[in-house]
Amino acid sequence: MSTVQDASVLVSKPSSPALSQRILRLWTYRGLLLNLIRRDLRVRYKESALGFIWSLLNPATYLAIFYVVFVIILPAGIPSFPVFLLSGLLPWTLFQNSMMAATSSVVGGAPLIKRVAFPREVLPLAAIGANIFHFFLQMIVLLGFMLIFGYGFLSRYTVLFIPALIVEVLLLTGLGLMVSSVTVYLRDMTHFMELATLFWFWMTPVVYPPYLVYDKLTRHHIPFKLALLNPMTPVVMAFQRAFYKTPSPTTVDHNGVVTYHHILVNQFHLSWYFEVLGLIALVSVALIWIGFHVFAKGEGNFAEEL
């Protein structure tokens, strides 16, 4: 009997391999992750004449609709509304689309799972990866808008963009692993996630100013921390802080009317964002750990259940 235990020895047991081994194996399959992302992107735009432009049209359409609604019909009193909206909407779109894609990724990968052995985790990860690519494409719309209208967005807060994106991807990884494996056993998950993300969207300050939430909560002596139970709230807030130039709290128009603008929560400084994002990063890492375990529990029977 061979007792040599090198990397090329694969032992298939009733239980899942240890987490470290799974991550190691995932790393050797990184080429597959990239190729699956590439496949997703290629297939999505293969037959469309406009190709990747569709990705840009999506936020542009949102922009047009929300502009009409919140600037013309129902003025929300938010200066440079398009920048405010897009800086929160883009990370939200990344979140929502990734969650939906991850939910159906394992079920959609059934033909592969039944025929080939590979770390099944790449399926939800590739679904998220493809949406990260879209996110960067859509950032072009935001950056283009700001450049065209001479909106100077660079500030010391702009750097928040990087940790916010990293934290969001960590969060997505944990949640994606969970929902993708649960969907195999509970096909309703797709419908449930549709409703859940809709609810979640309105629970996150994307179209309404975060200050509104802050104000309402503090007025009722409820700590704002409660709102941070939704991890997407600080992520979206950090994105907004990165790109949206907070107007000075008061402006005086030509009639001499003084308006108070409270859109972002100005009390929060850079350190606050880093602190909260750091906390959510820790929570996300815990979620990834749980996600791997949930996935491992389901994974053994994927080829049979699908």
Q: Which one of 23-31, 167-175, 249-257, 260-268 is the stretch in contact with other proteins (CB under 8 A)?
A: 23-31
Least distance to other proteins, CB of residue 245, Å: 42
Nearest-angstrom CA–CA distance, 5 and 27: 19
Stretch of 88-96, 127-135, 147-155, 181-189 lying at the interface with other proteins (CB under 8 A): 181-189
**Nearer to other proteins by C-beta: 192 or 200?**
192
Asked if 241 and 156 count as a contact pair (C-beta separation under 8 A), the reply is no
Rounded CA gap, 212 and 272, in Å?
18
Helix H or strand E encompassing 260 = strand 258-260
Q: Using CB under 8 A, count the residues that bind other proteins.
A: 40
Contact pattern from residue 38 through residue 77 relative to other proteins, giving x for each residue in contact according to CB under 8 A and a dash for the rest: xx--xx--xx------------------------------
- Burial of 215 from C-beta contacts in 10 A (0-12 / 13-18 / 19+): middle
- Sole binder of other proteins in the list 67, 133, 192, 274 (CB under 8 A): 192
Q: Return the closest-CA partner of residue 157 out of 283, 280, 265.
A: 265
Tell me which stretch binds other proteins (CB under 8 A): 12-20, 165-173, 253-261, 271-279: 12-20
Question: Two tokens at 279?
Answer: 């906390």
> Which two tokens mark 37?
């992302």
Q: Two tokens at 181?
A: 């494996």
Structure tokens at 179: 């929902």
- Nearer to other proteins by Cβ, of 31 and 152: the residue is 31
Among 49, 72, 73, 111, binds other proteins (CB under 8 A): 111
SS3 306: coil
Interacting residues toward other proteins by CB under 8 A: 1-2, 4, 8-14, 28-29, 31-32, 34-36, 38-39, 42-43, 46-47, 111-118, 185-188, 192, 300-301, 303-304
